[in-house]
Structures are given as C-alpha cells and as structure tokens.
Amino acid sequence: MAKLKMFQDLFQRYRRPGDLVFAVLFLAFAAFLLSQLGEQTAIAKRTKWYSQPALWPGIGVVGMFVFGAFHLLGSLVSPRIAGRWTEVLFWLRAAEYVLYFFIYVVLVPQLGYLPSTIVFTLFLTIRAGFRGWKFILSAVLFGVVTALIFRGFLQVKIPAGEIYQYLPDGIRSFAMIYL
C-alpha cells in the first residue's frame, strides 16, 4: 500500500494540468489521420498482407487512435488540477517561433538566402536574450556558414532574392548562384 501511495504522490507531482486539452487534440488529430488512410494509402492486389503499402501506416494510425482514446479516458477520470488554461497558454507561446519562421520563409525570396539567414539568426539570438557581442558575432557567423554550406556547397535550390537584381552585373550572378 505504501508503494501505491508513493506512486500516486509522484503521479500528482509530475502530472500536467493541460493533459485533458492535449488528449482531446491528440485524439482529434488521430481521428483525422484515420479518416485519411483510405485516400493516402493503397491496397495492392495480389500482394501478401504483410507487404501491403497500407499495413504499417494503418497499424501506426490505428494504434495512435486507440492509445489516444485511452489517454483521453484516463484524463477524464483523473482528478482535475488547477492551471489547465495557464499551461495551454504556455504551449501557445511556442507558436510565436512558428510565426518567426513563416516571416523568414516570406523574406528569403525578397532579401535572398544569405541576408535573410543572417537577420533571422540575429533576431532569434536577441529574442532569446543573448545580447552580448560574442553571441551576436556567433549568430552572424552561424548565418553566413549556414547559407554558404546550403546554397554554395550543397547547391540547394533556394530562390535568389529580388534584392540581388540591384547589384552590379559581376556580383549579381555570383550572389544569385551562391548567396
């Protein structure tokens, strides 16, 4: 009985109040994926059951749905802990960084990959609270190295920036290919 009490105490200490919200969202996402299985996977004729393209995605999504339902059931019967919406708001604060990334994606075709990456790394460094000159220099260096590796050495096809059109002819072609 003492071990059960110890387990319950640990469970209450580490349990998150936003569990019910997470369980509902997870089950809804699993249900959506389950509804898409027929559209996104295929069953091949004259193929053994274990070689079907839909087998492993089906097992994964069905498992996700079943265990998501059990999680929701467990969340519904568990005692409520105050602070659920505080935790959900904490989760939503992470969406700020998704917004920053979307802005970065929009800026790359306008400013070019190198300037956008430098601005993005600088902004995120300052936003994270690292304002010393070593951090700023590291962010700029990281942005330059990242852009040169992806665009210059790996030849990743990233649209050239519209701003490159205003560069002199000799530099423009270099910038459009490597920067």
| Residue 49 pLDDT > 80 | no
Residues 101 and 155 in one domain: yes
Structural domain includes residue 165: yes
Domain span holding position 162: 95-178
Task: Name the band, by pLDDT with cuts 50, 70 and 90, for residue 3.
Answer: low
Report pLDDT digits (tens) over 141-152.
999 999 889 887
Residues 73 and 130 in one domain: no
Residues 76 and 109 in one domain: no
| DSSP secondary structure string for all residues of the chain | -HHHHHHHHHHHHH--TTHHHHHHHHHHHHHHHHHHHHHH----TT--GGG-TTHHHHHHHHHHHHHHHHHHHHHHHSPP-S-HHHHHHHHHTTHHHHHHHHHHHHHHHHH-HHHHHHHHHHHHHHHTT--SHHHHHHHHHHHHHHHIIIIIIS----PPPGGGGGS-HHHHHHHHHH-
